[in-house]
């Protein structure tokens, strides 16, 4: 892939406004969006940029991004939507991307491993090309064709389960750490969760994101419990059918563990629930009373992202472009000048889908709410653009007020 070295001046995308917008801080040109199949440029290509988008209209558009990794397997060779603008070199500069359709799910890793992604169950993993897989709505089994036949095969099983304990019985420590709650309370089948040791001795980290997991068993029969939330957990296990197992299959399992990653649950999967209301069921609620800190609000706007929102008039904010996960632009808010250490609330413009959670309506707008370990996060979409606002749970009303104030603007 051709490498580019580009100096980018720091640009603030927002400008605070009381009675009007400060012209010194207005954003630049209006962003547009396109959809098509994303491909990586070859070193022999003479066109500028790093990638091409083969648009739905049959055009080939040169792309590059200073904030996003366009070469992720999730994007390449799949149909995507890109958001951005044409720069001075007539290259489309991408600031946001989302997958519309997976056309090449079998991305090869080093010629030996294949990426498998299951949005219904909410995970992604790699497995060997010469293994097979079967699955349903509750789990997936990967098995080695070379280790036996019928039930006598080495296999890796990944299943998702709903918790069985009573949330009201949890201690403050267990409310913060769902994995600890599983260790202390969970029943799996007819017996308690296997406990060959103390919580700390069983705790391991697995996967791309170093997820905390409880390890049970060992050797040729080993498993890991993973807490997604307080409501659901995963069990990943390796089972050897015979002592004459292929010697490298356990190494394959360890490689698979290293590639495991949790991903957002597909909106079409109605089984996963988070919060106090079933996912998919929208609840109408009254507009909340706002706290004293949110009684007086001022507004800011972004010309690049074409929206305006409110925040407390006696607070400060700072914004920056980022390339982390699905976040395109991040804004921090505080009651003193914002640094990297004192953010109280945040607002992110995200390129990915809104995750599953407690869905409700307030003041005619739909929101998705997620609570976790004393934190409150709320998502909303305005004219096709997704927003995420986060902070401590005590600022719930203010966060909802800010989310409800977001409106699109014309440039």
Q: Could you tell me if 200 and 137 lie in one domain?
A: yes
What is the percentage of the chain residues whose pLDDT exceeds 70?
A: 73
Q: Could you tell me if 90 and 203 lie in one domain?
A: no
Q: Could you tell me if 240 and 127 lie in one domain?
A: yes
| Residue 127 within a domain | yes
pLDDT at 147 (0 to 100):
59
Bridge partners of 190? none
Q: Could you tell me if 301 and 243 lie in one domain?
A: no
Q: Could you tell me if 131 and 249 lie in one domain?
A: yes
Mean pLDDT of the chain: 75
| Residue 357 within a domain | yes
CATH number of the domain enclosing 294: 3.40.1000
Q: Could you tell me if 131 and 252 lie in one domain?
A: yes
Q: Are 302 and 27 in contact (CB under 8 A)?
A: yes
pLDDT at 348 (0 to 100):
93
Q: Could you tell me if 138 and 253 lie in one domain?
A: yes
Q: Are 199 and 207 in contact (CB under 8 A)?
A: no
Dig out the tokens for 345 from the structure: 């609330």
Average pLDDT over residues 174-203: 75
Q: Could you tell me if 231 and 146 lie in one domain?
A: yes
DSSP for 190-231, written as a single string: TEEPP-SS-HHHHEEEETTTTEEEEEEEETTEEEEEEESSSS
| Residue 8 within a domain | no
CA separation for the pair 350, 194 (Å, rounded): 39
Residues 6+ apart with CB under 8 A from 139: 121, 157, 158, 159, 160
What is the per-residue pLDDT across 52-88, written as a single tens digit (0 to 9) for each?
Answer: 998 877 888 989 888 777 877 777 777 888 988 887 6
| Residue 113 within a domain | no
pLDDT at 148 (0 to 100):
57
| Residue 88 within a domain | yes
| Residue 77 within a domain | yes
Range in 255-259, 263-267, 349-353, 393-397 the model is least confident about = 263-267
Q: Could you tell me if 134 and 175 lie in one domain?
A: yes
What b-and-e string marks burial along 353-362, b requiring 16 or more CB atoms within 10 Å of the CB?
bbbbbbbbeb
Q: Could you tell me if 130 and 245 lie in one domain?
A: yes
CA separation for the pair 317, 300 (Å, rounded): 10
Q: Are 47 and 89 in contact (CB under 8 A)?
A: no
What is the percentage of the chain residues whose pLDDT exceeds 90?
A: 8
CATH number of the domain enclosing 49: 2.40.50.430
Question: Nearest-CA neighbor of 120 among 238, 264, 304?
Answer: 264
Q: Is the model's pLDDT at 283 over the cut of 70?
A: no
Bridge partners of 205? 212
Structural domain harbouring 42: 31-101
| Residue 108 within a domain | no
Number of domain units in the chain: 3
pLDDT at 333 (0 to 100):
92
The CA distances from residue 275 to 30, 42, 69, 151, 176, in Å, are: 37, 47, 33, 39, 15
Q: Could you tell me if 186 and 256 lie in one domain?
A: yes
| Residue 248 within a domain | yes
Q: Could you tell me if 288 and 403 lie in one domain?
A: yes
Domain-ending residue, one of 230, 262, 294: 262
What is the per-residue pLDDT across 367-393, written as a single tens digit (0 to 9) for each?
Answer: 888 877 678 899 999 988 999 999 988
């Amino acid at each position: 892939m051709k490498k580019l070295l580009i100096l980018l001046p720091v640009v603030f995308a927002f400008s605070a406004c009381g009675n009007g917008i400060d012209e010194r801080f207005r954003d630049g040109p209006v962003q547009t969006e396109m959809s098509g199949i994303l491909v990586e440029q070859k070193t022999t290509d003479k066109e500028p940029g790093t990638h091409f988008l083969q648009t739905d209209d049959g055009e080939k558009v040169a792309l590059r991004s200073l904030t996003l990794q366009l070469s992720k397997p999730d994007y390449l060779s799949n149909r995507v939507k890109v958001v951005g603008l044409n720069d001075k070199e007539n290259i489309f500069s991408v600031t946001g991307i989302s997958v519309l359709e997976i056309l090449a799910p079998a991305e090869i890793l080093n010629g030996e491993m294949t990426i498998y992604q299951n949005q219904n169950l909410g995970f992604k993993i790699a497995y060997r090309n010469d293994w097979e897989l079967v699955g349903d709505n509750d789990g997936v089994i990967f098995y080695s064709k070379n280790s036996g036949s019928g039930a006598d095969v080495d296999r890796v099983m990944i299943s998702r389960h709903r918790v069985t304990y009573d949330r009201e019985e949890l201690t403050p420590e267990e409310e913060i750490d769902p994995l600890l709650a599983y260790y202390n309370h969970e029943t799996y089948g007819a017996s308690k969760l296997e406990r060959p040791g103390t919580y700390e001795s069983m705790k391991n980290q697995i996967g791309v994101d170093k997820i905390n997991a409880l390890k049970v068993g060992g050797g040729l029969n080993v498993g890991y419990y993973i807490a997604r939330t307080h409501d659901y957990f995963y069990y990943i296990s390796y089972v050897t059918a015979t002592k004459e197992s292929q010697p490298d299959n356990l190494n394959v399992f360890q490689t698979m563990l290293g590639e495991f990653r949790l991903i957002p649950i597909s909106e079409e999967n109605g089984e996963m629930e988070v919060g106090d209301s079933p996912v998919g069921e929208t609840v109408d609620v009254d507009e909340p009373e706002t706290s004293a800190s949110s009684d007086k609000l001022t507004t800011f706007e972004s010309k690049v992202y074409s929206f305006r929102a409110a925040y407390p008039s006696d607070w400060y904010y700072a914004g920056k472009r980022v390339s982390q996960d699905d976040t395109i632009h991040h804004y921090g808010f505080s009651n003193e000048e914002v640094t990297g250490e004192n953010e109280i609330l945040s607002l992110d413009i995200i390129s990915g889908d809104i995750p599953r959670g407690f869905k409700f309506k307030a003041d005619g707008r739909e929101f998705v709410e997620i609570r976790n370990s004393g934190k409150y996060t709320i998502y909303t979409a305005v004219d096709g653009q997704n927003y995420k606002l986060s902070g401590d749970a005590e600022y719930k009303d203010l966060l909802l007020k800010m989310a409800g104030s977001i409106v699109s603007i014309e440039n």
